[in-house]
Structure 1
Amino acid sequence: MTLAEIKVGQDAVLRTIGGQGELRHHLLDMGLTPGTEVTLRKVAPMGDPIEVELRGYELTLRLADAAKIEVDNVHETDRAARSETRHAPVPHPGVGELRKAASYHDRKAGSEIAKGQPLRFALAGNQNCGKTTLFNQLTGSNQHVGNFPGVTVDRKDGMIRGHAEATVTDLPGIYSLSPYSSEEIVTRDFLLNTHPDGIINIVDATNIERNLYLTMQLMELEIPMVLALNMMDEVRANGGTIMVNELEELLGVPVVPISAAKNEGIDELVEHALHVARHREVPGRIDFCDATDGKDGAVHRCIHAVAHLIEDHAQHAGLPLRFSATKLVEGDQLIEAALQLDENETELLGHTIAELENETGLDREAALADMRFTFIERLCDKTVVRPGESREHKRSVAMDKVLTGKYTALPCFIGIMALVFWLTFGVIGAALSDLLTLGIDAVTNAADHALTAYGINPVVHSLVIDGIFAGVGSVLSFLPVIVTLF
């Protein structure tokens, strides 16, 4: 069977991920790796797209893409119901507190940057994680918008409020540092070529498993980084929490819980970002493999073998070693071209990857994606307390059964649109429009009498009354209808 054929409420284990190139790579980046169990939660009223649950988060797929994924072991779901237990928030360290650990000082990238010297930050994160909201909170009105050189992809730069020496660039929202979409290429080129002094990685705390995939790749760049856990207020409101202290220790980067929409934690985030950038404190961890685990062990040996093979090439090209090694394992053609491996090294690389695929039973891309998501699952098991199901979510699910039901969705849609148009053109909008028309007529008559009493030139009188007042008035009379419709 394929993923497109299973029924709502059924579990299935992914067997093979079909598709080619960009599509397949993005499916793997989304956590759809062989051996992963998924649950079909919803199907859109017209049958496309579908929503599945996997690795602790929900993912929406087009039916055509789901048809490329083969599954087996299909059965009625046995996933445990969401806990109703609520937890108190856990306090986290202050500025510099965690960075007393030896792992930070052992991995300093260079000499410290003096206070007052210019600093450049990159703001990176997934789409729809609150990145633009955070950027606006960081910069206020001190920002300008343009495009990246040679690419029609939005670029926003701004000065951090209260810190004239610090500028931040809002990078396009992406899910991984893969060289497929223009947004991914722009983001990756900016990080590799501009060499910012620090990265502010914003993560949606309500969808942390999905967001950490990009975090792991950013850490491999060995650029000072701080992790901004956004929407923590929503996690707490539902009775969940994240063990920020443990997460900080396991990742080796500062983690600051924030709410960008409510401007909570922003000042602390800025202090952490300035601290790691000035002191050149690069992530304390870039190796996410478990050398003792079966599949992970094979990936571990492969990445380290490739790293030894390309060490001099990466240094010559000015590329981070771990990042280059993992990208070569993935089959990244741009990195391979930049490293300029000779024929013997390319052949040895091929043998190393073939050994990886033989040991794991997965292709190179799937093996690496599986390693990353395995680490994320272990990390979240130790640090994330799942929130109980909120009343809002329960109410939303109950409404969805009707509003997005197979047989009830379209009648509901037609009914809602009919109500909107009736209220707009027959009740509220029409009444307000008539009221505004009366007001305009009254002003027009008053102006007409005033101009007549003044004895103004008839041509000017006609221009003002028949032209300006009549023309503008007829347009304004539609305004209540438009406002009501919106």
Structure 2
Amino acid sequence: MRLDALEIGKDAIIASVASDDAALRQHILDMGLTPGTEVTMMKYAPMGDPMEIRLRGYELTLRRADAARIELVDVHDTDAVAAANPHREACAHPALGEGVTPRGGKMAIAAGDPIRFALAGNQNCGKTTLFNQLTGSNQHVGNFPGVTVDRKDGTVRNHPEATVTDLPGIYSLSPYTGEEVVSRQFILDSRPDALINIIDATNIERNLYLTLQLIELDRPMVVALNMMDEVLANGGSVDVNRLEGQLGVPVVPISAVKGEGIDELVEHAVHVARFDERPGRLDFCTPDGPGGGAVHRCIHGIASLIEDHAHASQIPVRFAATKLVEGDELVISALHLDKNELDGIEHIISQMEEESGTDRLSALADMRFSFIEGVCQACVTKPHESREHLRSVAIDRVLTGRYTAIPMFLLIMAAVFWLT
């Protein structure tokens, strides 16, 4: 069976992801849909497309055409239950410089000298709201050079020396969409002094995938944990101190809508930029996970082989190594590797595939998601379902129901015309 035919309320295990388009296949894997992952069909849109599924602790909306590329086995009635994380009380956020051990620490930018930030995050995580909070009316809109992708720049409030560029909303740094390529090239070529990565705290498992890739870019970085007010209001919590230690970068809980935590976020961002404080860790391999040891050896073997090329091309070594595993043509071209080196890299990757029992793209995605699952298990207490969400689901049963959606649409449109 393929995922597009799975009935509502059924669970199944992903057997394979097939696509002639390698970039699309990688995009699907980057969403967490890797072989061996259990998925639950939640609901279909009234016209049958798109569909909503649950996997790895979060909900994902998928186009039917993409779901048709995913083969399933072991279809059964759902037995999915909410993960029973031990409850953690909300803890005070550490002061500046505590809770994380970054690399660097020497003054790189003098007080008053210009600082450039890049704001990155998933779509619908509050990035635009945070950008408006950071800049107020001190912003302008244009395009990135050579492409019709929106670019917003602004000056940070109370910090006239600091500017921030709002990068397009993306889910990964894979070369699938123009937005992903633009964001990656801006960070690599323009080399902002620090990254501000905004995360939706209510959907932290999905958002951390981009965070790990940004950390691999080895730039000064701070994580803004947005919507923390919603998490706490619904009985959830995040051990921010432990999360900082696991990721190796400062994490600041904020509420962009209410303007809470914004000053502390700016303080941390300016600090890591001025002192060039790089992430405290770049290695997210889990040697004890499925195929983890093989992936670990593969990435580090490639990194040692390409280190001089990466430095010459000014591409972070760890980032370059993972992109070579993915077969990223942009990185392969930038590194200027000769045929013998490319053959050696291919041999290392093939050996990893043989040891791990899966293909290179699936192994790399599984490595990252295994680390994320461990982090969330240690640091996150999932909130219970809010009254607002329960009310929304109840309304959706009528407004998007299979038999009621079209009549409700016609009724609402008739009411609009009558009122007009």
TM-score (norm: length of structure 2): 0.96
CA apart distance, 1:244: 0.6
Task: Tell whether 2:304 aligns with 1:303.
Answer: no
Determine the C-alpha separation between the residues in 2 that align with 1:120 and 1:209.
28
Determine the C-alpha separation between the residues in 2 that align with 1:357 and 1:85.
36
- Decide which of 360, 365, 371 is 1:369's aligned counterpart: 365
Write the deviation string for residues 356-403 of structure 1: whole angstroms up to 9, x where unpaired. 111122211111111111111111011110101112222222222222
| Alignment partner, residue 171 of structure 2 | 175
Question: Which residue identity lines up with residue 35 of structure 1 in the other structure?
Answer: G
Question: Which residue identity lines up with residue 359 of structure 2 in the other structure?
Answer: D
| Alignment partner, residue 220 of structure 1 | 216
- Decide which of 256, 267, 273 is 2:269's aligned counterpart: 273
Task: Tell whether 2:204 aligns with 1:194.
Answer: no
Task: Tell whether 2:147 aligns with 1:151.
Answer: yes
Determine the C-alpha separation between the residues in 1 that align with 2:291 and 2:15.
16
TM-score (norm: length of structure 1): 0.83
Contact 2:119 2:197 in 1 (8 A): yes
Task: Tell whether 2:62 aligns with 1:66.
Answer: no
RMSD: 1.7
Question: Any idea what SS the aligned residue of 2:128 has?
Answer: helix
| Alignment partner, residue 403 of structure 1 | 399
Determine the C-alpha separation between the residues in 2 that align with 1:198 and 1:4.
41
Question: Which residue identity lines up with residue 242 of structure 1 in the other structure?
Answer: V
Higher alpha-carbon Rg: 1
Contact 1:84 1:389 in 2 (8 A): no
Determine the C-alpha separation between the residues in 1 that align with 2:155 and 2:86.
42
Question: Any idea what SS the aligned residue of 1:98 has?
Answer: coil
| Alignment partner, residue 16 of structure 1 | 16
Contact 1:13 1:36 in 2 (8 A): yes
Higher helix share: 1
Contact 2:109 2:273 in 1 (8 A): yes
| Alignment partner, residue 42 of structure 2 | 41
Question: Any idea what SS the aligned residue of 2:291 has?
Answer: helix
**Residues 90 and 263 from structure 1, CA distance in 2 versus in 1: closer, same or farther, beyond 3 angstroms?**
same
Write the deviation string for residues 289-348 of structure 1: whole angstroms up to 9, x where unpaired. 122334111100000000011011111111100000000011101111111111111111
Task: Tell whether 2:81 aligns with 1:80.
Answer: yes
**Residues 294 and 87 from structure 1, CA distance in 2 versus in 1: closer, same or farther, beyond 3 angstroms?**
closer
Determine the C-alpha separation between the residues in 1 that align with 2:98 and 2:365.
33
- Decide which of 289, 300, 308 is 1:293's aligned counterpart: 289
Task: Tell whether 2:382 aligns with 1:381.
Answer: no
CA apart distance, 1:88: 4.9
CA apart distance, 1:75: 0.5
**Residues 269 and 296 from structure 1, CA distance in 2 versus in 1: closer, same or farther, beyond 3 angstroms?**
same
Determine the C-alpha separation between the residues in 1 that align with 2:18 and 2:233.
39
Instruction: Indicate the percent of aligned positions where both proteins have the same amino acid.
Output: 64
Contact 1:84 1:387 in 2 (8 A): no
**Residues 59 and 319 from structure 1, CA distance in 2 versus in 1: closer, same or farther, beyond 3 angstroms?**
same
Task: Tell whether 2:234 aligns with 1:233.
Answer: no
Query: How many residue pairs get matched?
Result: 419
Question: Any idea what SS the aligned residue of 1:164 has?
Answer: coil
Contact 1:86 1:238 in 2 (8 A): no
Contact 2:85 2:381 in 1 (8 A): no
- Which runs of no fewer than 5 residues in structure 1 stay unpaired? 426-486
CA apart distance, 1:45: 1.4
CA apart distance, 1:25: 1.5
Determine the C-alpha separation between the residues in 2 that align with 1:184 and 1:109.
30
Where in structure 2 are the equivalents of 1:370-449 lying within 5 Å? 370-422=366-418, 424-425=419-420
Write the deviation string for residues 6-62 of structure 1: whole angstroms up to 9, x where unpaired. 110000110101222232111111111111111000011121111100111111111
Comparing 28-37 and 109-118, the one that deviates more: 109-118
CA apart distance, 1:90: 2.5
Question: Any idea what SS the aligned residue of 1:313 has?
Answer: helix
CA apart distance, 1:84: 12
CA apart distance, 1:145: 1.3
Determine the C-alpha separation between the residues in 2 that align with 1:411 and 1:84.
42
Determine the C-alpha separation between the residues in 2 that align with 1:206 and 1:185.
27
Determine the C-alpha separation between the residues in 2 that align with 1:361 and 1:83.
30
Comparing 303-312 and 21-30, the one that deviates more: 21-30
Task: Tell whether 2:351 aligns with 1:355.
Answer: yes
| Alignment partner, residue 334 of structure 2 | 338
Higher relative contact order, chain-length normalized (CA < 8 Å, sep 6+) = 2
Contact 2:107 2:275 in 1 (8 A): yes
| Alignment partner, residue 310 of structure 2 | 314
| Alignment partner, residue 127 of structure 1 | 123
